């Protein structure tokens, strides 16, 4: 069905992208209990505007994967995550319709969900002008950001010698910062293990700092609280300390979400502060398990499993070579399958 053009929902997310040599704007908006999805061309005053509105019931009828969410807001977060990790495609846009195809992995099986957007023939001149105004405003904002970036870099160039000293001091301060904040990662050798692995990839020449997102003893051990604080944030470092005095964890570049899916993250790795080793993800295997009823979990059936209400539950590790390249069964946990939680911390790693 076509959504009335007169409704002006609150814009939640929008994405500029190229399709068939044209630039387009894909927009997600909320108004009450309705989710609006629209698509417009950016590089031409195109005569067509594609749009549709969905409520929770209509989305659940399209596919029951949406029925696990409690509200239209949670469904919006679920769809946005699939867009941001590029788990979607646009079928050929014709005069009357465009298909937004979402690709969801349930365990190891991929399924496709199609959301249809329809041409709105009632698109007015004012609507086109408003779209163009929004585009100009976004471009102006980007120009201002680029000019500020240029000025900041010129200052850096003019004060290069002083800044080199400051960078060394800042690096020491940042390294000390996480060891002061964390009750798990407490010494420089543990920090060195993490940062040596991080700097073997695309972050080779980056400066690293840390921001605490979640702490089990302070924030509570429910999976809901974890997802509220950590969903859709990239570069997450998960630290676990057990009552048996073992310390281990994992890193994901993509970060966790509530999409009920197993996601491949080739840059993910696990580590143990007891063996002082890290364990890379196996290529093509799902590295992070994103499920609303679990905490931060690596692998499926699971290399590190953190359940809901984990202080009153047991965690588990997996046998060797499940999703990560470990050498012995249950190597992270000293050869044991289960463990009891003393603390769980999640940090965002910030690369400058």
- pLDDT tens for 234-259 read 999 999 999 999 999 999 999 999 99
pLDDT score of 120 more than 90: no
Give the whole-angstrom CA distance, residue 176 versus residue 329. Answer: 34
Q: At what angle do helices 188-198 and 160-181 cross, to 10 degrees?
A: 120
Question: Which pLDDT band, with edges at 50, 70 and 90, does 232 fall under?
Answer: very high
Residue 238, pLDDT score = 98
pLDDT digit string (tens) for 3-52?
A: 433 445 667 889 988 888 788 889 999 888 889 999 988 865 566 788 99
Helix or strand run (H / E) with residue 238:
strand 236-242
Residue 61, pLDDT score = 85
Which residues on neighbouring strands pair with residue 99, listed in sequence order?
116
CATH of domain 10-123: 2.170.210.20
pTM over 0.85: no
Residue 17, pLDDT score = 87
Residue 110, pLDDT score = 82
pLDDT score of 1 more than 60: no
Give the whole-angstrom CA distance, residue 236 versus residue 247. Answer: 17
Q: Do the beta carbons of residue 321 and residue 298 sit within 8 Å?
A: no
* Segment among 6-10, 96-100, 305-309 with least mean pLDDT: 6-10
pLDDT score of 63 more than 60: yes
Neighbouring residues of 107: CB distance < 8 A, sequence distance ≥ 6: 262, 286, 300
CA 100 from chain center: how many Å?
20
Q: Do the beta carbons of residue 36 and residue 51 sit within 8 Å?
A: yes
Average pLDDT of every residue of the chain: 84
> What does residue 54 show for φ and ψ, rounded to 5 degrees?
-135, 140
Instruction: Count CB neighbours of 339 within 10 A.
Output: 23
pLDDT score of 66 more than 90: no
Residue 166, pLDDT score = 56
The C-alpha angle 269, 271, 276, rounded to 5 degrees, equals 140
Residue 3, pLDDT score = 41
Place of tokens 């972050």: 203
Quick one: what percent of the chain has pLDDT higher than 90? 42
Mean pLDDT value of segment 121-148: 66
Mean pLDDT value of segment 120-139: 61
Give the whole-angstrom CA distance, residue 88 versus residue 77. Answer: 15
Residue 105, pLDDT score = 81
pLDDT score of 125 more than 80: no
Give the whole-angstrom CA distance, residue 172 versus residue 195. Answer: 13
pLDDT digit string (tens) for 325-346?
A: 888 889 999 999 999 999 999 9
Mean pLDDT value of segment 140-162: 74
Which residues on neighbouring strands pair with residue 339, listed in sequence order?
315
pLDDT score of 89 more than 60: yes
pLDDT digit string (tens) for 157-210?
A: 666 655 555 555 555 555 447 888 999 999 999 999 999 998 886 678 888 999
Residue 96, pLDDT score = 82
Domain ranges of the chain: 10-123, 180-351
- For 348, the token pair is 């965002």
């Amino acid at each position: 069905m076509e959504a009335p053009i007169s409704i002006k929902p609150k814009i939640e997310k929008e994405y500029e992208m190229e399709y068939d040599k044209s630039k387009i704007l894909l927009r997600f908006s909320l108004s009450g209990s309705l989710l609006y999805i629209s698509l417009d061309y950016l590089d031409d005053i195109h005569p067509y505007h594609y749009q549709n509105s969905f409520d929770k019931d209509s989305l659940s009828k399209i596919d029951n994967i949406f029925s696990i969410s409690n509200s239209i807001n949670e469904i919006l977060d679920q769809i946005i995550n699939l867009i941001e990790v590029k788990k979607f495609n646009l079928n050929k846009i014709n005069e009357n319709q465009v298909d937004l195809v979402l690709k969801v992995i349930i365990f190891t099986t991929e399924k496709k969900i199609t959301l249809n957007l329809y041409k709105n023939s009632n698109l007015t001149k004012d609507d086109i002008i408003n779209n163009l105004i929004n585009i100009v405003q976004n471009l102006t904002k980007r120009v201002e950001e680029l000019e500020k970036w240029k000025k900041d870099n010129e200052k850096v160039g003019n004060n290069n010698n002083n800044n080199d000293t400051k960078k060394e001091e800042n690096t020491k301060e940042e390294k000390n910062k996480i060891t002061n904040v964390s009750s798990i990662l407490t010494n420089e050798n543990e920090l060195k293990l993490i940062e040596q692995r991080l700097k073997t990839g695309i972050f080779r020449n980056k400066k690293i700092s840390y921001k605490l997102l979640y702490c089990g003893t302070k924030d509570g051990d429910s999976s809901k609280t974890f997802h509220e604080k950590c969903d859709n944030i990239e570069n997450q470092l998960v630290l676990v300390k057990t009552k048996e005095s073992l310390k281990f964890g994992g890193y994901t570049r993509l970060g966790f979400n509530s999409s009920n899916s197993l996601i491949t993250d080739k840059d993910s790795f696990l580590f143990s502060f007891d063996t002082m080793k890290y364990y890379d993800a196996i290529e093509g295997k799902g590295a992070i398990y994103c499920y609303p009823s679990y905490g931060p979990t690596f692998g499926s059936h699971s290399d590190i499993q953190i359940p809901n209400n984990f202080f009153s539950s047991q965690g588990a590790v997996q046998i060797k070579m499940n999703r990560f390249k470990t050498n012995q069964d249950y190597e992270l946990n000293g050869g044991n399958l289960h463990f009891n939680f003393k603390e769980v911390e999640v940090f965002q790693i910030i690369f400058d």
